[in-house]
Structure formats: C-alpha cells, structure tokens
Amino acid sequence: MVMQRHLYVTARRWARTALCLSLLATSTISLGGPFTNPVLPSGPDPWVTRVGKTYYLMVTRGDKLTIRKTNDITRVAAAPEVTVWTPPVTGPNARSIWAPELHRIGSKWFIYYTAADSGHDDNLHRSIFVLENAGSDPSQGRWIDRGRVNTRHSAIDATIFSYRNKAYFVYSLQLGSESWLAMARLRTPWRLEGPEVVIARPTKSWEREIYPINEAPEFILGPKGDLFLTYSASACTSDEYAIGLLSAPAGSNPMDPRVWTKSPSPAVSKAPEVAVFGPGHNGFFTSPDGKQHWMVFHANPGPSMGCTSNRGTWIEPFTFSANGRPVFSRPSGKQEKLDAPSGQSTGQTRR
C-alpha cells in the first residue's frame, strides 16, 4: 500500500511538471513587455484584428495576401506568414495587391483589398475587392472571391464600420490629381446601396505634400459616443506623410458631410528625433483584457525612404481625453521600450 501511494504521488508530480512545461512552451500571461518598435521590419499598410487572445496581422505584400497569427503582437515577426490568396494572372484584380483589411461579419470572415487591372496598373484603374471565408480561422480554409465593390470611382484603402445597426463603407477615391474620402452604405459585405458622399478633401497644407491626398480612413467610436475617422494625408513618398483626424458628434448621421470636422493639424506625424518618418495608414485594436486602446501604423525608420517595403509596422497605445477625444502620443523610436498590451499571452499560437 505504501509503495502504491508513493507511485501515485510521484506520478501526479510528474504530471504536474509536464503540464507546467507544456504551458510554458505554448503561452504565458504577459506581464507587460517590454518591446520596441517596429514589431515587423517590413510591414506597410498594417491591419490588426484580435479575437479573444489571438491577433491576426495583414500587411501589403503586392503580389499576394498573407496573414500572421499570434498570441503576442509584440513578437508578430516570429509568427509564420501564411499566404491565403494569390491573384489571377490577368484581370481587374491581378496587380498591386494593397492595403488588406480582415473583418469578422456575423459568422464569416471577409478581406477587403485594393487591386489594379492587369492591363492598366495605375491610380485610375484601381478598385476594392472582397474575399469571403466561412471558416473559424482566417489563416486557413477556403477564400471565395466576391468580386469588385461597386464604387462610382476608382478606389483604394477601404474600411468598413457599423454604427446604430447600419453598415458603412469608406474609401479613398481618385479625382484628377487629388484623392478624397468618400462614404456609402453597405447592402451586403461587397455591395453598396444608395449615394456616395465625399466627407473630406485635402485642403490643408500638410495634406498636400508632393500630392494632395486623403486616404486610408479608419473608424473608432469614442467613449462618449462621438465618431472619429483617422486618415492619412499627403503622398506616402514624403517624410511629411501623416495621420489626420475627423470627428462628428454622438448621434450624427455619418453620411452627412456637414457633421465631420477636420482637426487643424496632424494627429500623428514624423518624429525625426527618434528616427520615425512618414507615419500613416493606421488601424485600431484593443488589448485582450479590453483595458487598453492601441493603434497600428506603418512608418519609415529613416528619411527619404519613400513608399516601399522598408516601411515597418508600429504599434502604440493611446487614450481618450476627459471630453472623449483620442489622444495619440509621439511615435516611439527603436530604442524606446514600451509595455506590451495588457492581458495578452506571450508565445506563438499553435497552428
């Protein structure tokens, strides 16, 4: 009996040890960092979606769509980059695959991306296209091509959002030499209904560096119900490329251009003192415990680096002021340590 009890206790200790080692090998709860930016050295037009404790990152790759899946967004560079879709050889969505966004709508996943026609790879022949996946994990399963979104103009950098049980589609349209922000209602995830309205034009000097551009809109709802849209301004080839902010009062009709007010200066701009240039094309996500707001964006780690794959992926926390407006900090340099998102796990998600 003594021997049996000894074996039983020993077996339980080994089982506990094995369990602890297994947990350490997969994931542990983050104690808050630290990490440094960029979290991905080459990651233009980044987009982060979080489901539970799992993050999904997409960036522009030009000739394909890829997803990185991780439990630790600060170590996303160590996550496998899985190709989930490649374009056809010819056709309207065969070239310049840009600015993907991954959204969960109901029980399905959708990717919105920019592409150009194989015969006309220029700004007047770009459109937004949609892919659909019914699986639970967007890095796996089958993606179905739902075709082109029926915008009235050439289009890039689309995003979607829901407000008061209505779905909206916002994108950057090309008119002559300028890019404006336009909005429409969504009837389905890939079909617009009703009119399209222009809500912003590049009217300020900091929005017209090299080219007059408003692009890459992103929506966030403030804690007091106010509506906010960030966007990127000027040409991405410029070090002055920056993130602007539009705001509308709580309860506004987003389709009414008159409700949107543009901030007079950039919300996020270059920080040459820490070697951050041309920050832009941002997205938003929250920490796994829901206590922190984070922004993801790209930037160059040096001057005059242009609009290339040298743009890295940055993540930065932000807050809201007492009156409910977002407060963004100066971008952090590669020598400045930040705490990781609260409540996240460290270590990569198992495939």
- The CA radius of gyration of the chain, in Å to the nearest whole number, is 22
Single out the catalytic residue among 45, 209, 218, 316.
45
45 as an active site residue: the answer is yes
DSSP letters of 132-165? EE-SS-TTSSPPEEEEE---SS-EEEEEEEEETT
Burial class (CB in 10 A: 0-12, 13-18, 19+), 23: exposed
Single out the catalytic residue among 72, 207, 215, 240.
215
**Count of residues in the chain:** 351
State how far the Cα of 160 lies from the Cα of 147, in Å rounded to an integer: 16
Q: Tell which residue, 235, 321, 341, 325, has the closest CA to residue 280.
A: 235
Question: Are the beta carbons of 157 and 213 closer than 8 angstroms?
Answer: no
DSSP state of 278: E
Three-class SS state of 196: strand
The amino acid at 64 = K
Structure tokens at 76: 């996303």
**Cα 300 off chain centre by:** 17
Q: Tell which residue, 89, 161, 173, 85, has the closest CA to residue 128.
A: 173
Could you give the count of Cα atoms lying within 13 Å of 327 in the half-sphere of its Cβ? 8
Three-class SS state of 262: strand
215 as an active site residue: the answer is yes
Active-site positions? 45, 215
